[in-house]
A and B are shown apart, each in its own frame.
Chain A
Amino acid sequence: MTAVPVPHRVVARRPETADTVTLRFEPVGRPLPDFLPGQFAMVHAFGRGEIPVSVSSVQATGGLAHTVRSVGAVSDGLCAVRVGDVVGIRGPYGTSWELERARGRDVVIVAGGIGFAPLRPLILGALAEPEAYRRINVLIGARTPSDLIARAEVASWATAYTGVTVDQPEPDWRGDVGVVTQLLGRAHFEPEETTAFVCGPEPMIRATARELIQHGVPHDRVQVSLERNMRCATGHCGHCQLGPVLVCQAGPVVDWAQAEPLLAVREL
């Protein structure tokens, strides 16, 4: 881990949606330590600043990649980079998805919008050794079909159940319409023997975690990825503080038993 951005060259750029791109990087000089799925980097667009972005691919499986949605000055800059351009990356930071805890159990992975990106390396990790898990379920929600990331890749996954739903269908959409939690009833899992992984907008995380727990999944077996305003990523600045927790260090991945009381405090 380094506190100084390390130059990385963009070796591939794949537009995912109208406002989202996946950028694959190679280090210009010395490489960063290996990232784990769920961890994040501070990605620096020179002349604009840096933002925290979870990895959507790790060095161990296909190379380091980040999926960035254009929502501000820095992410606009990152979305505009071309193959061959150089950005700064520092990391890895934060906690990772604990896929090990799901071994021998049913797996339920629930993604909302851009929250699909941090879950992608976890899904690929699980699919790489399907015999290690009972049944793998992937549930994906997005605002519109045009906002869905990696549709062809998702369609190719061999899971017990893959469900995709949108809030607002487009004329050619023949799939499900509604919130992602409605897909839980169609997934194949035994709640008491399930580990769940959830990433997306905070209201979606809350709704999904509550529904999983209502189904009977234990609180401490629902892992969520919290989004907070990370600035330093090293636990010094306090921008990402959530009650007693610095999300850049104790998170972004935490279990619901830890996250629920924090997210219930109105002032946090």
Chain B
Amino acid sequence: MPPSIALRMNHALPAEHRERLLRIGRETDFPQGARLFEEGGHADRFWIVRSGTVALDMHVPGRRPPVIETIGVGDLVGWSWLYEPFVWQLGAGAVTSVRAYEFDAVAVRLMCLNDAEFGRAVEHWVGRVLAHRLNAARARLVDLYGIYETKEER
């Protein structure tokens, strides 16, 4: 089974909701190096990567933004569009050329308001993505700070 949009969204979005969402998505391309959004900006869109890699980064004055995490095929880029105050918490740039489905945040939020079942499904999906990334971040904390180390007795 190749990685696909279906593989990722299947986990949390039932087929009928997934199809509704994809109907309002549009295909878009980003050349290598293009910025998808900047930290602190208004979160008015989100994307699902079809090919390529997106890097999430953080603004550090006077330095190149350090990469926090990379996101690949089938992954959701952006969750701040779902939660007030709808402000990007990180920046994002295309590491390679990227093909993606782009979604208008206001349109999707309106669909969520108008159809409670669809809204629950979308929130469940984004929530699962968030939980997964939180767990990954915690695992990296363990690794980076050496809380767990291979040790032979000295």
Contact = CB atoms under 8 A, between A and B. Distances in A.
A26 interface: no
A185 B3 contact: yes
Given A169-B67, A178-B69, A188-B2, A72 B153 contact: yes
Contact of A71 (B3, B8, B69, B152): B152
Contacts of A75: 152
A186 B66 CA distance: 23
Contacts of A174: 95
A168 B66 CA distance: 9
Contacts of B2: 188
Interface in A206-240: 207, 227, 229
Contacts of B148: 201-203
Nearest to A190: B1
Chain A: interface residue count, which band?
Answer: 35 or more
B72 A176 contact: yes
B114 interface: no
B23 interface: no
B147 to A, nearest CB: 9
Contacts of B151: 71-72
B62 to A, nearest CB: 15
Contact of A72 (B3, B73, B152): B152
Q: Is the interface of B mostly helix, strand, loop or mixed?
A: loop
Interface in B133-154: 135-136, 139-140, 142-144, 148-154
Contact of B69 (A177, A183, A191, A201): A177
- Centre residue among A114, A175, A182, A204 by max chain B CB count within 10 A: A182
B60 to A, nearest CB: 13
Contact of B152 (A51, A143, A169): A51
Contacts of B53: 176
Contacts of B3: 185-188
Interface of A: 51, 69, 71-75, 114, 143, 165, 167-169, 171, 173-179, 181-183, 185-191, 201-204, 207, 227, 229
11 contacts: A51-B152, A114-B150, A167-B140, A169-B66, A177-B67, A177-B68, A179-B136, A182-B70, A185-B8, A190-B1, A201-B143
Interface of B: 1-3, 7-8, 53, 55, 64, 66-70, 72-75, 95, 135-136, 139-140, 142-144, 148-154
